Chain A
Amino acid sequence: MRTWLWVLLLLFLGGLFLWGMQRNPRELPSVLARERRPAPDFTLPVLPPYREAWGETFRLSQHLGKRPVVLNFWASWCYPACYEEAPVLEALWRRYRDRVLFLGVNTQDQEPGALRFVAQFGLTFPQVFDPRGRVGVDYGMYGVPETFVIDAQGRVMVRHAGAIDQATLEKYLAEALP
């Protein structure tokens, strides 16, 4: 009887250990995406190359609730991940620009570096500047790059940490588009 108790205890502890080992420590919970909360609003200055088309400042709430939004946080010092995903974002923006809004948030960066980055990749979707990274805290961001997909109702659907690849982003967009 007592031996069985010990065996059960050992099995339980072993099971707990195995479960713990299989959890992904890099999987970061997103409160916004899990509860599908409304995307936090912000108003940020637009980077100079985009001012002609998008104005001096960009207010997110003016664009929410109309079509899905892909919100991408990046920085020019974030190498290589931000450099890997920039061409993917630009290519998909060109394909989906009628149906989805792409917005780049340059976070904790300096303007010259940011301008060099957007010129290097020829990014044509609007880019805003958040040198202090305040908006990132509102989105519960861990580190650049991070991409949030906001659905057509203005709710956060997905948070993707790290460089995003084309297939993954296309899958998210297929879910977001009605």
Chain B
Amino acid sequence: MRWLALLFLFLSAWAQSGPPPDLSPEVFAIARELRCPVCQGESAAESNAGVAVEMRRIIAEMLQQGKTEAEIKAFFVDRYGDWILYEPPRRGATLWVWVLPLVGLFLLGLGLFAYFRPKRPLPPELLEEAERRLKEPPA
């Protein structure tokens, strides 16, 4: 009997995870790419803040009206600016976000190459000179 109760508990907890049934997965797919305005580092899909819930509702409404994903994102960008997008646009100051890692990798490669590149052997006369000096008794 106890096992049955545990199983029931597990099943009900399992049923609660995942999106609520009134919104389609498509809504969450779009919400995942939008930032929740009041949360730190959460998307509008994950957060339960009031504004994120409302954003999901707006997305669902717009999808029902036949709006495309681009149109829905544009709706939010129009109100919040590019900030609302999780993937920063590749222009303006945010271009650096895309360019700097590449620049960093390039510089790292350059540094590694300079460090590990095969050294040119010393000219033989210089080596002979060094050997001769080593053999000389100390003054």
Q: Which residues of A come within 8 Å of B, CB atoms?
A: 9, 16, 28-32, 107-108, 132-134, 136-143
Q: CB distance B79 to A138 under 8 Å? A: yes
A140→B38 CA distance, assembly (Å): 11
- Note all chain A residues with C-beta closer than 8 A to B51: 108, 133, 136-137, 141-143
Q: How far is the CB of A142 from chain B (nearest CB, A)?
A: 4
B79–A134 touching, CB < 8 Å: no
In the assembled complex, which residues on chain B have CB atoms less than 8 Å from the CB atom of A9? 107
Interface size for B (C-beta < 8 A) is 15
- The answer to whether A137 and B79 touch across the interface, beta carbons within 8 angstroms, is yes
The answer to whether A31 touches B50 (Cβ under 8 A) is no
| Residues of chain B with a CB closer than 8 A to A28's CB | 83
3 nearest CB pairs, A to B? A108-B50, A140-B79, A143-B38
B binding-site residues for A, Cβ under 8 Å? 37-38, 50-51, 54-55, 57-58, 78-81, 83, 96, 107
Question: Which residues of chain A are near B50, meaning CB under 8 Å?
Answer: 107-108, 132-133
Do B80 and A31 have beta carbons less than 8 Å apart? yes
- Tell whether, in the assembled complex, residue A16 and residue B96 are in contact, meaning their CB atoms are under 8 Å apart: yes
What is the total of A-B residue contacts with beta carbons within 8 Å? 44
- Chain A neighbourhood of B83, CB < 8 A: 28-29
A108 neighbours in B (Cβ, 8 Å): 50-51, 54
Q: Complex: how many Å from CA A51 to CA B81?
A: 36
Q: Measured between alpha carbons, how far is A16 from B96 in the docked complex, in Å? A: 10
A137 to B83, CA, bound (A): 14
Query: Min CB distance, A118 to chain B, in Å?
Result: 20
Tell me, in angstroms, the Cα distance from A139 to B37 when the chains sit together: 12
Nearest CB of chain A from residue B111's CB, rounded to whole Å: 10
Residues of A within 8 A of B78 (CB): 31
